[in-house]
Amino acid sequence: MNLTQKILAAHLLSGELVPGTEISIRIDQTLTQDSTGTMAYLQFEAMGVDRVKTRKSVAYIDHNTLQTGFENADDHQYIQTVAKKHGIFCSKPGNGICHQVQLERFGVPGLTLLGSDSHTPTGGGIGMLAIGAGGLDVAVAMGGGAYFMTCPKVVGIKLVGQLQKGVAAKDIILEVLRRLSVKGGVGKVMEYIGPGVATLTVPERATIANMGAELGATTSIFPSDEVTRAFLKAQKREEDFVPLAADEITAYDEMIEIDLSTLVPLVARPHMPDNVETVENVGPIKVDQVFIGSCTNSSYQDMMRVAKILKGKTVHPDVSLVIGPGSKQVLTMLARNGALADMLGAGARILESACGPCIGMGQSPKTNAVSVRTNNRNFYARSGTASAGIYLTSCETAAITALTGVLTDPRCLDMDLTIPQPEEFEVNDNLVIPPVEAGAEDTVEVVRGPNIQPFPLGHTLEADVAGKALLKMEDNITTDHIMPSNAKLLPYRSNVPYLSDFCLTPVDETFPARAKAEKGGFLVAGSNYGQGSSREHAALVPLYLGIRAVAAKSFARIHQANLINNGIMPLTFQDEKDYDDIDMMDELALPGIRAAIEAGEEKLTLRNVTKGHDYTVLLPLTERQRGMILAGGLLNYTKECNS
């Protein structure tokens, strides 16, 4: 068996490990962050479970940390009190980015981790089967429920050779994206094998696993080996180490080989992470801003390489350099060893340990700027400035670029950037608040501020569904398009009615008003609809606006699951040419839809009443998913099953 199959088999609750079929697995750990967590905990409370059933659940506050009004602070208080009451550890603001802290302090090889953040696969760097999902799926897992998923194919990515000077782990995942595209990992797990793996540290592996989310992959995973043991020992938790690897003779559904010694520094150009070219070929374009950090590249070793490049030098006068260490642990160690002073001395602006610029939470670049960043996504307008061009690179490329003022190949540096792992990391978990003991739940009052509003629930599916095509969209519509997540809107993640006025406005500013005037209807989209974040709001807000179905050429995995969880039908065109035949505001209908789903039919008729045409659309659902669509979503379905 490969490593993915071993972990799945050890956690399998139903189904068989046959790719493409539905399975359910037991979840050992969960994580949430404050952007998705408030809604997840509201849903958890609605389930009526007193205490989480997982081995460990952690609520992180790392996204909405700019407190320009009461909204974020109110959400933080709600999360901390609801976590304390229900058996969940809470990582307070300032403790760090969820994926970085989870890797440092809580990740355990061989366990399953489900997180309400699409970059949860970062845990694969330590040998976890770590999967991003919608908040409702995480709430169910916290309540002891199984996580249902499509059994993935497993792609073996064999690494041979060793990275050359100036080439980084970020360049490995950019190379994978260059080869496979943002759709190349859908329905697959990327499992890294081969002699090259042993040359990579845990943080480097985590960088690769983190950005595997941009492939659309279910997750990515590395073996747990002596490198893993050394990392856990340095974190003072060697007892969590378990050796894990694929069997010596292992079959993979696909195999890719990458010779690390042949890689060169790469860059993802605007506006997609797979728009990859060599730094050398893109050339010395003028740069206005550099951001080094995010959950992809903010580890101690990343930061030390940056400090080494900056030491004794000065940032180019035309560049704004901002650096965000990934955790309190990293920031403290930089402060103690002088590296932080080297960064400040060069002219860097130091941010708190949080997600920050990656999600448009501060540090938006100027109009028409070129911003070089070490984060994982460069979707249109995600930085908060629609006209800016975001280029994704390694820390080494970003740091030398900040000094030169133009995109620069770091191989020009005449220095050894090898940073050994510390024998001991500084461990201080005083910003992790433990829950009350079991049985003491009634001693905690859950505090809800005025910005926290009830979440919408779907309703029972009618016999027939009809409505207008309220919006027609192109390929690769992201969750940032569907539900923008900038600094102005993030504080309202617990207020769906407010957010509804901004749904899909990056595509069409008139959409929310039209959806409200028509009292709902259909959405029509191209391929890979809903790629990007796991944010459940990209389904909850359309649900609030009355969207009953989305007809698309194809869907991203997490968003498709979120639609079903909320009772919205994700319909796939059998013939993609039918997409071309539909115009915005055509009257569409699904005649006899309830009876068809009850009968288990997967080929349905989508009628264009305006044009008098019928299209065949596909809605392959498991028995459980059929129940969810009929009931109007997972919460309604769960209540029906328990009544």
Instruction: Please say which residue of 243, 262, 281 terminates a domain.
Output: 262
Query: For residue 349, what are the domain limits?
Result: 266-412
CA dist., res. 394 & res. 172, Å (int): 10
| Burial group, residue 367, by CB count within 10 angstroms (0-12, 13-18, 19+) | exposed
Contact 97, 327 (CB under 8 A): yes
For helices 34-47 and 135-142, the axis angle rounded to 10 degrees is: 50
Q: What is the pLDDT of residues 356-408, one digit of tens each?
A: 888 888 888 999 999 999 999 998 888 888 899 999 999 999 999 999 999 99
Q: What is the mean pLDDT of residues 508-530?
A: 97
Question: Residue 97's pLDDT is what?
Answer: 96
In a domain, 78, yes or no: yes
Among the ranges given (55-69, 198-212, 278-292, 302-316), the one the predictor scored with the smallest mean pLDDT: 55-69
Q: What would the two tokens of residue 187 be? A: 């329905």
Residues 117 and 236 in one domain: yes
In a domain, 458, yes or no: no
Residues 289 and 249 in one domain: no
Question: Residue 528's pLDDT is what?
Answer: 93
The CATH code of the domain that includes 405 is: 3.30.499.10
Q: What is the mean pLDDT of residues 302-329?
A: 97
Residues 204 and 339 in one domain: no
Residues 110 and 222 in one domain: yes
Instruction: Please say which residue of 262, 280, 311 terminates a domain.
Output: 262
Query: Number of folded domains in the chain?
Result: 3
Residues 295 and 204 in one domain: no
Instruction: List Cβ neighbours of 392 (8 Å cut-off, separation of 6 or more).
Output: 170, 174, 267, 268, 273, 373, 374, 375, 376, 377, 378
In a domain, 423, yes or no: no
Residues 281 and 192 in one domain: no
Instruction: List Cβ neighbours of 385 (8 Å cut-off, separation of 6 or more).
Output: 364, 365, 366, 367, 369
pLDDT at residue 641 above 80? Answer: no
Residues 327 and 195 in one domain: no
CA distances from 150 to 8, 16, 22, 194, 424 (A): 12, 10, 5, 27, 40
Q: Is the model more confident about 619 or about 69?
A: 619
Question: Residue 35's pLDDT is what?
Answer: 86
Residues 116 and 249 in one domain: yes
Residues 258 and 329 in one domain: no
Q: What is the pLDDT of residues 204-262, one digit of tens each?
A: 999 999 999 999 999 999 999 999 999 999 999 999 999 999 998 888 999 999 999 99
pLDDT at residue 565 above 80? Answer: yes
In a domain, 453, yes or no: no
Residues 73 and 96 in one domain: yes
Q: Is the model more confident about 334 or about 134?
A: 334
Question: Residue 492's pLDDT is what?
Answer: 84
Q: Is residue 521 very low, low, confident or very high in pLDDT (cuts 50, 70, 90)?
A: very high
For helices 300-310 and 328-337, the axis angle rounded to 10 degrees is: 40
Q: What is the mean pLDDT of residues 69-76?
A: 90
In a domain, 427, yes or no: no
pLDDT at residue 642 above 80? Answer: no
Q: What is the pLDDT of residues 409-430, one digit of tens each?
A: 999 998 889 999 999 999 999 9
Residue 259 belongs to what H/E stretch?
A: strand 254-259
The CATH code of the domain that includes 630 is: 3.20.19.10
pLDDT at residue 500 above 80? Answer: yes
CA dist., res. 86 & res. 437, Å (int): 9
In a domain, 421, yes or no: no
In a domain, 436, yes or no: no
Q: What is the pLDDT of residues 101-144, one digit of tens each?
A: 999 999 999 999 999 999 999 999 999 999 999 889 999 999 99
Question: Residue 249's pLDDT is what?
Answer: 81
Question: Residue 31's pLDDT is what?
Answer: 97
Q: Is residue 601 very low, low, confident or very high in pLDDT (cuts 50, 70, 90)?
A: very high
Contact 471, 507 (CB under 8 A): yes
Q: What is the pLDDT of residues 481-496, one digit of tens each?
A: 999 877 788 888 889 9
Contact 89, 83 (CB under 8 A): yes
Q: What is the mean pLDDT of residues 303-330?
A: 97
pLDDT at residue 355 above 80? Answer: yes
Q: What is the mean pLDDT of residues 537-557?
A: 95
Question: Residue 566's pLDDT is what?
Answer: 94
Question: Residue 323's pLDDT is what?
Answer: 97
Amino acid at 55: R
Q: What is the mean pLDDT of residues 70-90?
A: 95
Instruction: List Cβ neighbours of 268 (8 Å cut-off, separation of 6 or more).
Output: 174, 177, 274, 275, 276, 378, 391, 392, 393
Q: Tokens 């920031």 belong to which residue?
A: 331
Average pLDDT, the chain: 95
List the strands of the sheet with 349-350, edge to edge. Answer: 276-278, 266-268, 389-392, 370-373, 289-292, 320-323, 349-350
CA dist., res. 437 & res. 173, Å (int): 42
In a domain, 499, yes or no: yes
Q: What would the two tokens of residue 239 be? A: 């007892």
CA dist., res. 566 & res. 631, Å (int): 10
Q: What is the pLDDT of residues 49-66, one digit of tens each?
A: 999 999 999 999 999 888
Instruction: List Cβ neighbours of 398 (8 Å cut-off, separation of 6 or more).
Output: 290, 291, 292, 306, 372, 373, 374
CA dist., res. 98 & res. 123, Å (int): 10
For helices 70-86 and 34-47, the axis angle rounded to 10 degrees is: 50
Q: What is the pLDDT of residues 33-50, one digit of tens each?
A: 998 888 899 999 988 899
| Burial group, residue 509, by CB count within 10 angstroms (0-12, 13-18, 19+) | exposed
Q: Is residue 643 very low, low, confident or very high in pLDDT (cuts 50, 70, 90)?
A: low
Residues 46 and 139 in one domain: yes
Omega prior to 459 cis, within 30 of 0: no
Residues 167 and 312 in one domain: no
- % of the chain beyond a pLDDT of 70: 100
